[in-house]
Amino acid sequence: QKHLIRLSVLSSLSSILDTMPGATTGTVLISDPLNFWGGKRVKPMQEKNTEPVFEPATGKCCRLVRYMVPCGAEEVDEAIKSAHAAYLQWRKMAGMERARVMLEAARIIRERREKIAKLEVINNGKSITEALVDIDVAWQCIEYYAGLAGTLAGQHIQLPGGSFAYTRREPLGVCVGIGAWNYPFQIASWKSAPALACGNAMVFKPSPMTPVTAVILAEIYKEAGVPDGLFCVVQGGADTGTLLCQHPKVAKVSFTGSVPTGKKVMEMSAKGVKQVTLELGGKSPLLIFKDCELENAVKGALMANFLTQGEVCCNGTRVYVQREIMPQFLEKVVKRTKAIPVGDPLLDGTRMGALISKPHLEKVLGFVSQAKKEGAKVLCGGEPIVPSDPNLKGGYFMAPCVLDNCRDDMTCVKEEIFGPVMSVLPFDTEEEVIGRANNTTFGLASGVFTRDISRAHRVAENLEAGTCFINNYNISPVEVPFGGYKMSGFGRENGQVTIEYYSQLKTVVVEMGDVDSLF
């Protein structure tokens, strides 16, 4: 029995999430407004330039929310003014006061994790198993920065004659977060948690393809006790993003997405001399040496390529395997790849759900076709899948793919595919493979599997990437910084250092004697 869930505009957060246990793929309908400022959901001023939202698992115009209505200039201005008013209250609160509110938000998310995860799956297409982890990472992030909120402090500097100076770590003001569609709720949390801990407000724009769960986070923050307007959500695409980046009351922009869009965000923000954090694309190398523990290396390669249907910016999609163990590696990795259960993302047994959209699925399949034309050999997968469930026949599913016989000059090795496609390449020596691994404009992540501890740290030092995983891959605890080198961006998310990207230092100089004037 499938339950059609109709939610009125007046529905509360709890009633929306309370419907989730009975929901199944292709059955959920939400009619609530998806904008949020001033402490409440806000209807669009006018419904024009609407964009259809599709449910990845069914391929149908999403019953969850049929259309995304972008915010115009007046709505963006309203949201930012609401955020600024809240910021003026929030910045005056002690760090421990802010921490208590944030801890309550983390508690609410933890309590409702299963329901939020299910809503995320319906809108995004990833498996429920992964979505539950994403929601856990979200509340852990908020909890972590709540712990740091009360520790923010300056420095005292003694000067001659009893004079002194001190520094104050102060918030920036209204920050803008622009999210991606692969981790909608988690990215909203990653950006808002450090911003709020430092005393800022945030206006967040989710991807137009995944507009649903950011507003849930906004309602949770309100329920936890933040001032109305402290975390606002505006829906929209590139035009709305432009309005946010160019608004004079915005102090900082944090963007997650592609390199071309990141360049535009940086250019627009530069006109107002706004601080920018960019978390952009990647084509990360994974180096597997012959002395590795092979079973772990195979599992690491799968984690490096097939999480969230391969739609992960830091994936290790260039898998360099030392020539002596290449046959054994390929045999094991192909066997395990073929065994990945692909299908309804709401089923507990599913390990790979649907890609985000039909155009994106076609783009990924196009990369596989191009790879074959350039001489790569498809060892498994790389074709569309039609699940047996008739409700899923239009979904954006594909079989995870392993490519052999790859070369560094192939398109599949040079360009970010953002899908479940692993390119495997042989290498002979450490020096050779480091040079090949670094021969890219990207620098988001990297990985190495080896039992040689000296080699592990030597390789980590020489790889040009913001993260290097040793004997594992795609492990991102909220305590450690995440961000890129080169064209993968700059600035960091997570970890203690991110406090510096959401605050500014003021120096106060105090003279205790008479002024020694030259005039």
User: Active-site positions?
Assistant: 279
User: How many CB atoms are located within 10 Å of the residue 323 CB?
Assistant: 11
Q: Comparing C-alpha atoms, which of 129, 450, 163, 119 is closest to residue 309?
A: 129
Q: How far apart are CA 200 and CA 192, in angstroms?
A: 9
497, two tokens = 């250092």
Q: Comparing C-alpha atoms, which of 391, 268, 285, 380 is closest to residue 334?
A: 380
- Yes or no: say if 98 and 75 are a contact pair by the CB < 8 Å rule: no
426, two tokens = 């042989």
- Yes or no: say if 25 and 392 are a contact pair by the CB < 8 Å rule: yes
Interaxial angle between packed helices 184-197 and 95-111, expressed in degrees from 0 to 180 and rounded to the nearest 10: 160
- Yes or no: say if 251 and 174 are a contact pair by the CB < 8 Å rule: yes
For residue 10, the one-letter residue type is: L
Rg over CA atoms, the chain? 24
Q: Comparing C-alpha atoms, which of 347, 346, 353, 316 is closest to residue 333?
A: 316
Q: Comparing C-alpha atoms, which of 241, 229, 239, 202 is closest to residue 78?
A: 229
- CA distances 14 to 6, 447, 456, Å, are 14, 42, 49
Length of the chain: 519
Q: How far apart are CA 111 and CA 139, in angstroms?
A: 10
For residue 192, the one-letter residue type is: S
Question: Which residues 6+ apart lie within 8 Å of 432 measured at CB?
Answer: none
Q: How far apart are CA 409 and CA 19, in angstroms?
A: 50
Q: Comparing C-alpha atoms, which of 442, 410, 405, 411 is closest to residue 425?
A: 405
Question: Which residues 6+ apart lie within 8 Å of 154 measured at CB?
Answer: 166, 167, 168, 169, 505
Q: Comparing C-alpha atoms, which of 107, 138, 105 is closest to residue 120?
A: 138
φ, ψ (nearest 5 deg) of residue 83: -65, -40
For residue 399, the one-letter residue type is: A
For residue 369, the one-letter residue type is: S
